[in-house]
Structure 1
Amino acid sequence: MKPEVARRKLARLRAGGKPRVLDLFSGCGGLSLGFLAAGFRIGAAVEFDPDAARSHGLNFHPDDPRHSQARDIIVTHPEDLVSELGLGPVDDAFDVLIGGPPCQAFARVGRPKLREIDAHPRAFEHDPRARLYQEYLRYVEAFQPVAVLIENVPDVLNHGGQNIAEEICEVLESKGYLCGYTLLNASFYGVPQMRERMFLIAYHREAGGQISFPVPTHWMDLPPGYEGSRSVALKFLSKAQGDAHDYIDPPASRRHLPPAVTADKAIGDLTPINARRQMAEGKLKRGARRFDQSMLPDARRRISDYARLMRSWPGFEHPEGGIRDHVIRYLPRDYEIFARLKPGDQYPEAHQLAMTMLAERVEQLRQQGVRIREGSPEWQNLLAAIVPPYDASKFPNKWRKMWRDQPARTLLAHLGKDSYSHIHYDSEQARTISVREAARLQSFPDGFVFCGTMNPAFRQIGNAVPPLMAKALAAEILQTLCGYNEARNDEHTRTTAVL
């Protein structure tokens, strides 16, 4: 990157200009929303999925349909993007690039190959696995941002024996950037979800300063599964020794901080949906769930500080007519199982309960004078109607009932296929979470709109970076780029800490 370009951009920012952001692999815009809330301007996004692209455009550029178009980063050149959107010269269009290239693009490519790809723009034709990585680097080279943020799963620290984060840093450092990466858990930053992710920050050397990550605002004891994944990643880094020189220890969460936001504080104020009763009344039927009906809030429900923030997020306030995506899946076989599960129960417990329910039904029929022999066609029909078909020994984590008094486990894109990983903690409601509840657990405010039907919306939410997590990172970056004083940073910390 040309130093004079960096100096020009930094001068504009330090004179009071808002940093202009390009969000790559943006999804619906979790990162964008956090950066917007921290004081950045969302200039554009590149997203391949049509529903997610429409969501991003509708939320951040509602009056300009050009921003709602899906774009493939492989065929969308930087020059074409700025021309289509009328953003002026390429190297002056954006100050910050954010996003997370899919980790599959990095698999087993190797550091020499990555350098070759960076040096030879057409090299990806010989190794398509690195294609998206090459495109990301191409955008960095073209737009010459003064800061870069990359997000990915913790496994990128040991992806087939490679430390992908370190390799990214090596390439960016060759372009004049200072880099650092770490692992952060969203529950430490006011998000009601135990989501562990790798974050990498890079600044052009003209920006000065050091790489730092936001100080946690909340505390919790992470369960073994999360501490274990972090330990595995860090163990690999320790074995790598000098091959992980850009890794930074994450800021420690302290016990004196406010406790992590729980699932109940996140979604307890939303109007209850009693799945069994709605099904009996004919209000819940099979078919695509469209967001064509509003649900007014229940005034009797207690509103936590977190729920109040989700209702009043500036620019994304709770709709006056009610939310339109508080909808759930039609799962008639499973509602009774959900009601009997205890918090923390997973699929083995669910399967055992279903077998008990099967035995109860057979006994009930026997008392009515109907005898059903195990293995008979009648018994097989009952089995299919009551018991889920998955092998409990092969799918132990397929189901999980949430805890009321803990943050939710990680939401994944698989929510778009089923929601069994997040069964509502309220046994009276006896269902999986709704789209809006998933959004709340991911820290999307109530006024944020998801395009498409239920399944695409779930997928967009599961793929997103939690906006509150993104806001904490954005505030840290803003202070470095703009030279904001400590008082501004303390104000951000106090605002987040009230959640």
Structure 2
Amino acid sequence: MKVIDFFSGCGGVSEGLRQAGFDITIGLDFDKKAAETYMANFPKAKFYNVDIRMLDEKELTQSFKKKNKKNDPLILVACAPCQPFSSQNKAKSEDDIRRTLLDETHRFIKELKPDYIFIENVPGLQKIDKNKEGPYKRFTNFLNSENYKFIEVIAKSEEYGVPQRRKRFVLLASKVGQLDIPAKTHGEGLEPIKTVRDFIGQFPSIRAGEIHPDDLWHRCPTLNERNLERIKATPEGGDRRDWPEHLINECHKTHSGHMDVYGRMSWDKPAPTLTTRCYSYSNGRFGHPDTNQHRAISVREASRLQTFPQDFIFKGSVVEASRQIGNAVPCEMAKQFGLAIQQHYIDIKKTKK
């Protein structure tokens, strides 16, 4: 099964689908550093480092046909930027041009006629324009007009083998028959939920500001003297509620929310949702769980908590790599959804014989 990955970022979905046995054929993203990362990890795929609005659908279709001589089935992935729809983005606006990027996929779907479509975004995308003609409603109306059957699910990453609590909205569409929601793989009565320890417990100890010589991405920023004091006062799984009074920010003394900032992770629980600032101790519960390591998690540890392989190549600075990691779809979740799609296609073919 071939894959075209629009808004690919650094390649979280592509990596998961590759692990499920798919052929990663074409990627597209506007971000230059994410594009460099993608091309380094998927050298056989053709990559378009362009704004999708500037790409001709017939040009891409011709490029795809050259790579698909056996007429293999196609899955089109379109994980458009989530910031215009995120509840965390207090500055979001209906004028944000990223809101219409999903509309751009219509012309490619019409031209390519993919067998399957994979859409991922923040929970709430499907509700934003519930009572008006917004991008998501236009997209589902378009799918209906093109005779796609689709399902929608709020997927919890930890229920698909990811050591991280991360809710995402997923739409899966099929031209070949009705899909079911992919079965959960972890949780009650299934495999145990994966934990932080399972994925980063084996990493060698480093200090804040240090780069490990065996892996240049096993690195994290320095901490100023006050934040070093704070993390030293924070137990595993703890946060600012564990600090002495003099270490607490004035703005936090009268504010009971946002307890994750300046927090440490817990070894034997999933990580919290990793954001684009997952390298920063002060921006979430991104402190290392080992109370002998007074630092934020390293870039490599963050990538492992998103289930990227340990040898995955990243391009750019710490800030740029962390943004790519925080924006990615966890590879393991994409893999499980890919395996479900693969099985669906096999079952459909059997019934048609």
Alpha-carbon distance in structure 2 between the residues aligned to 1:106 and 1:331? 32
Alpha-carbon distance in structure 2 between the residues aligned to 1:431 and 1:456? 19
Other structure's SS at 2:3 match: strand
Give the 5 Å matches for 1:26-425: 26-61=8-43, 67=47, 70-81=49-60, 87=66, 95-103=74-82, 128=97, 130-159=99-128, 168-204=139-175, 207-208=176-177, 210-219=178-187, 255-275=188-208, 284=210, 294-295=213-214, 323-333=215-225, 334-346=227-239, 348-349=240-241, 352-353=243-244, 355=246, 391=252, 393=255, 396-415=259-278, 420-421=283-284, 422-425=286-289
Cα displacement (A) at 1:30 = 0.6
- Where structure 1 has 5 or more consecutive residues not aligned to the other structure, the ranges are 1-18, 108-125, 220-254, 296-322, 357-386, 487-499
| Closer, same or farther: CA 462–390 of 1 in aligned 2, 3 Å | farther
Cα displacement (A) at 1:102 = 2.5
- Where structure 2 has 5 or more consecutive residues not aligned to the other structure, the ranges are 87-94
Alpha-carbon distance in structure 2 between the residues aligned to 1:155 and 1:405? 29
| Structure 2 residue 307 is the aligned partner of structure 1 residue 443 | yes
Cα displacement (A) at 1:178 = 0.6
Other structure's SS at 1:74 match: helix
Other structure's SS at 1:398 match: coil
Cα displacement (A) at 1:70 = 2.0
Other structure's SS at 1:44 match: strand
One-letter amino acid of the counterpart of residue 201, structure 2: G
Cα displacement (A) at 1:75 = 0.8
Alpha-carbon distance in structure 2 between the residues aligned to 1:430 and 1:128? 41
One-letter amino acid of the counterpart of residue 231, structure 2: F
| Structure 2 residue 336 is the aligned partner of structure 1 residue 472 | yes
| Closer, same or farther: CA 74–417 of 1 in aligned 2, 3 Å | farther
Q: How many residues align?
A: 335
CA contact (8 A) 2:158 2:166 kept: yes
CA contact (8 A) 1:335 1:430 kept: yes
CA contact (8 A) 2:129 2:136 kept: no
| Closer, same or farther: CA 428–418 of 1 in aligned 2, 3 Å | closer
Structure whose alpha-carbon radius of gyration is higher: 1
| Closer, same or farther: CA 98–418 of 1 in aligned 2, 3 Å | farther
CA contact (8 A) 2:235 2:264 kept: yes
Alpha-carbon distance in structure 2 between the residues aligned to 1:87 and 1:354? 66
CA contact (8 A) 2:11 2:38 kept: yes
Q: Deviations over 1:471-498 (max 9, x none)?
A: 1000111112233899xxxxxxxxxxxx
| RMSD after superposition | 3.1
CA contact (8 A) 1:344 1:400 kept: yes
Alpha-carbon distance in structure 1 between the residues aligned to 2:207 and 2:213? 17
TM score, norm. by length of structure 1:
0.61
Alpha-carbon distance in structure 2 between the residues aligned to 1:130 and 1:405? 38
Alpha-carbon distance in structure 2 between the residues aligned to 1:85 and 1:214? 28
Q: Deviations over 1:8-48 (max 9, x none)?
A: xxxxxxxxxxx111001101111001111111100011111
Cα displacement (A) at 1:182 = 0.8
Cα displacement (A) at 1:388 = 5.7
Cα displacement (A) at 1:72 = 1.2
Other structure's SS at 2:124 match: helix
| Closer, same or farther: CA 212–441 of 1 in aligned 2, 3 Å | same
Alpha-carbon distance in structure 1 between the residues aligned to 2:30 and 2:289? 35
Give the 5 Å matches for 1:422-437: 422-437=286-301
> Where has structure 1 moved over 6 Å in runs of 4 or more?
416-419
| Closer, same or farther: CA 129–475 of 1 in aligned 2, 3 Å | closer
Partner of 1:231: none
Alpha-carbon distance in structure 2 between the residues aligned to 1:413 and 1:98? 21
One-letter amino acid of the counterpart of residue 345, structure 1: G
Bigger proportion of residues as helix:
1
Partner of 1:456: 320
| Closer, same or farther: CA 191–101 of 1 in aligned 2, 3 Å | same
CA contact (8 A) 2:123 2:168 kept: yes
CA contact (8 A) 1:105 1:132 kept: no
Alpha-carbon distance in structure 2 between the residues aligned to 1:104 and 1:332? 30
Q: Percent identity, please.
A: 32
CA contact (8 A) 1:337 1:354 kept: no
